[in-house]
Amino acid sequence: MLLHGFTIVRDTGGADTALREAIAEGLIPGPRLFIAGKALSQTGGHGDFRGSYPESEHKRCGGHSPSLARVCVGVPECLNAVRDELHQGADFIKIMCGGGVATPTAGLDMLQFTAEEIRATTTTAAYSKTCHSGCLHC
C-alpha cells in the first residue's frame, strides 16, 4: 500500500492489533493503521459464521479459525462488546447493520440490531472518544 501512496489506512475488518503494532514498530513496512477490531454481529446475522451445532463453532479443517466478528445480543451485551473491543485495542467500532453476501443466514435485505442496540453502540463509542462505523447494503 505504501508503494501506491497510502500512508494511513482505516481498516474496517481483518487487520488486528498485532499487524498495527508490527507496522508501528517498523518490523514490517506498511501504512499507519486504524483498526476496527472485531465487528459486532447479531445472532445469525452478517458476521456470525458459527456452524449450526455448538461444537462446530470456529472449527475448520486444520483447527481453529478466528472470526472477524463477535456476536452480541441485547443492549447490555452490545455495551460490553464495544468496551471490550476498545480494551483489546480497536481504534473504532464497526457493527453489521444489515445482511451480507458472506453469511448464508443473513440476506442483503435483512436489517439487524434494534434501534436501541445501535444507539447503545454509538453512544458507548462516543463516550470513549472514538467513532463508529456500520456495514449496510442498500
Q: How far is the C-alpha of 60 from the C-alpha of 69, rounded, in Å?
A: 16
What's the pLDDT at 60? 53
CATH code given to domain 2-49+65-129: 3.20.20.140
Q: Which pTM value belongs to this model?
A: 0.84
Where in the chain are the domains?
A: 2-49+65-129
Burial class (CB in 10 A: 0-12, 13-18, 19+), 131: middle
What's the pLDDT at 48? 81
Q: Dihedral of the CA atoms 61, 64, 69, 71 (nearest 10)?
A: 100
Question: In the chain, which stretches have pLDDT less than 50?
Answer: 62-63
Burial class (CB in 10 A: 0-12, 13-18, 19+), 105: middle
